[in-house]
Chains A and B, each alone.
Chain A
Amino acid sequence: MHIPDGFLDAKTWGTAWVLGGVTIAYAVTKTRSQLQERQIPFMGVMAAFIFAAQMINFPIALGTSGHLLGAVLAAVMLGPWTASIIIATILALQCFIFLDGGVTALGANIINMAIIAPFAGYWIYQLISKAWSGRTGMMAGVFVASWASVILAASACAVELALSGMAPLGTVLGAMLLWHIIIGIGEGVITVAVLGYLTQVRPDLVYQTSKA
């Protein structure tokens, strides 16, 4: 759901740049205090993996495709603040190197995929995995959080498009939800597969909120 230049009007993309920029700047300070130096290679690998995975569009229905977003994947392993830095970096690289997502639209793309997705997703993951203990609960949390992260990012995108006058809110929100409810299932499946592996073999790398 990378918004290209031209879809958003100046007031929308301008506001998004400010909001997104301020949030990412704050995320930098949080990451600075939370990230341990020995996690840096892992952060690089996570970013590289998510970039590669985002290239793999999978067909979903009726001539439409989806691809991994990866926000919850990053958030469960490295926490939502670091995840936001990872996704924002990927978005910037995709924009400047590959023309995937606009420059003016980068603020909005960051808000949707690098802020809303990891934070809302992580919050939902915590809610579910705390209520449903054990590995099954954790994976259920991952699945629902991943699915929800895509839905919420897509909804925010719809709001931005509506504010820019591309289509009425009800119309564009309904349409975005239609596709992303399905795409979110793919997100859930892929994220559970990868996190199922990672949390099993490297439980020490999973982000712990209660840092004693």
Chain B
Amino acid sequence: MRKEIWVLVILAVVIAVFLSPFASSFPDGLERVAEDYGFIEKGEGQEVVNSPIPDYALPGVVNEKAATALAGIIGTIVTFGVMYGIAVLIKGRAISEKEAMQQQKTSQ
């Protein structure tokens, strides 16, 4: 990966660790609409799964900002890993015909 992509990586980490604890805690557009029109409670207590880091706060960390920053870095790294893994699975060992032809051309 060339340096420009590393800039994105570093930016992602900086954002996840240093900016996320200071993100606005105001409700987002959907939550605001749900509050204003009286259906916000319908979404409460409906959790179908037990999530390990609910609402981006790492459990067991007393300092809220630290809990968020840790959630951020963990999420960022996991997202990279999972996306990479999924992409590898999608590509599999199947090289497209075009790439195979190109490889033939460059080896000639």
> Provided the pairs A43-B84, A98-B54, A179-B33 are in contact, do residues A52 and B16 lie with their beta carbons within 8 angstroms?
yes
Q: How far is the CB of A126 from chain B (nearest CB, A)?
A: 22
A44 touches B81 (CB 8 A): yes
In the complex, A132 has a CB within 8 A of chain B = no
Q: Which of B28, B71, B79 contacts A90 (CB 8 A)?
A: B79
Whether A137 sits at the interface, judged by CB under 8 Å, is: no
Q: Which residue of chain B has its CB nearest to the CB of A7? A: B43
| A48 touches which of B7, B68, B80 (Cβ 8 Å) | B80
For residue A53, which residues in chain B have a CB less than 8 angstroms away from its CB?
12, 15
Expressed in whole angstroms, the minimum distance between the Cβ of A68 and any Cβ of chain B is: 10
* CB-CB contacts below 8 Å: A150-175 with B: 154, 157, 161, 166-167, 171-172, 175
Partner of B26, one of A6, A63, A104: A63
Interface magnitude class on chain B:
35 or more
Inter-subunit contact B28/A44 (CB<8 Å): no
Q: Which A residues touch B99, using CB under 8 A?
A: 36-37
Chain A positions 27 through 40: 1 when the CB is less than 8 Å from some CB of chain B, otherwise 0: 01001110111001
Known: A32-B92, A65-B28, A98-B54. A51 touches B76 (CB 8 A): yes
Nearest CB of B to A206, in Å:
12
Complex: A154 Cα to B39 Cα, angstroms: 17
Could you give, for residues 82-101 of chain B, a 1 whenever the CB lies within 8 Å of some chain A CB and a 0 otherwise? 11101110111011101100
Chain B residue numbers with a CB within 8 Å of A179 are 29, 32-33
- The interface-forming segment of A15-23, A54-62, A140-148 is A54-62
Task: Check B61 for interface membership: any CB of A closer than 8 A.
Answer: no
Q: Tell which of B55, B72, B91, B94 has the most Cβ of chain A within 10 Å.
A: B91
Chain A 90-126 interface residues, beta-carbon cutoff 8 Å to B: 90, 93-100, 102-104
Distance in angstroms between the alpha carbons of A176 and B39 in the assembled complex:
14
Contact across chains for B72 and A48 when beta carbons are under 8 A apart: no
The 8 A CB mask of A189-212 against B (1 = contact, 0 = none) is 000000001100110000000010
Closest 3 CB pairs of A and B: A179-B29, A6-B46, A4-B43
Known interface pairs A52-B13, A99-B55, A103-B49; 19 further A-B residue pairs with C-beta atoms within 8 A, sorted by A's residue number: A2-B30, A31-B87, A35-B87, A41-B5, A43-B84, A43-B87, A44-B83, A47-B83, A49-B15, A52-B72, A55-B56, A56-B15, A57-B26, A64-B26, A66-B28, A97-B51, A157-B30, A175-B33, A179-B29
Interface residues of B (CB under 8 A from A): 1-2, 4-5, 7-9, 11-13, 15-16, 19-20, 23-30, 32-34, 36-37, 39, 42-49, 51-56, 68, 71-72, 75-84, 86-88, 90-92, 94-96, 98-99
